[in-house]
Amino acid sequence: MHTINTNHAPAAIGPYAQAVHHGGLIYSSGIIGLSPDTGALVEGGIEAQTRQVLASAAAILEAGGARPVDVLKTTIYLTDLADFAVVNGIYAEFFGEHRPARATVQVVALPKGALLELDFIAAARG
C-alpha cells in the first residue's frame, strides 16, 4: 500500500491520506469542496462545491496515475437531497459516457459545513 497526495487537491484535514493505492485499486478519502489554495470552502453554493469536489477528485486520480474513466464506484453524501439534480448534472458532465456504480445518501452534516462529500474507488493503471 502507498499513499497518494497532491497539492492540486485540498490537504487532508485529519490523520488520513487523500487516497491510498493497494491491490490495483485507488481508494479516496472523502472529498469536500475546499480550495486547494486556501483550504476554505469555495463560495457559490452546491454548484461551486460540486465542481471543486470533482476537480479535486480528478487531481487525486491523476496523482495516482488514473483518470475519471477508471473510477469504478463513487459515493456522494449530500446535506440536502433537493440538491441532487444539480449535483447529478455536473457529475454527468464530469464522467461523460462513463458510468461508475454510485450511491447517493443524505446526511445531517459534513465537515466544515460542506454541502456534499464524495469518495471513490478506481482501478489503478500502473
**Each residue's pLDDT tens digit, 83-117:** 999 999 999 999 999 999 999 999 999 999 999 99
pLDDT of residue 2 exceeding 90, the answer is yes
Query: Which phi-psi region, left, alpha or beta, contains residue 98 (left: φ > 0; alpha: ψ -120 to 50)?
Result: beta
**Each residue's pLDDT tens digit, 41-71:** 999 999 999 999 999 999 999 999 999 999 9
Can you give the pLDDT at residue 126?
A: 63
Q: Which of 118, 88, 103 is nearest to 19 (CA)?
A: 118
Whole-prediction pTM value?
A: 0.96
Secondary structure (DSSP) of 42-68: PSSHHHHHHHHHHHHHHHHHHHTT--G
Label residue 125 by pLDDT band (50, 70, 90).
Answer: confident
pLDDT of residue 13 exceeding 90, the answer is no
pLDDT of residue 30 exceeding 70, the answer is yes
- The answer regarding whether domain 2-123 maps to CATH 3.30.1330.40 reads yes
The ranges assigned to domains in the chain are 2-123
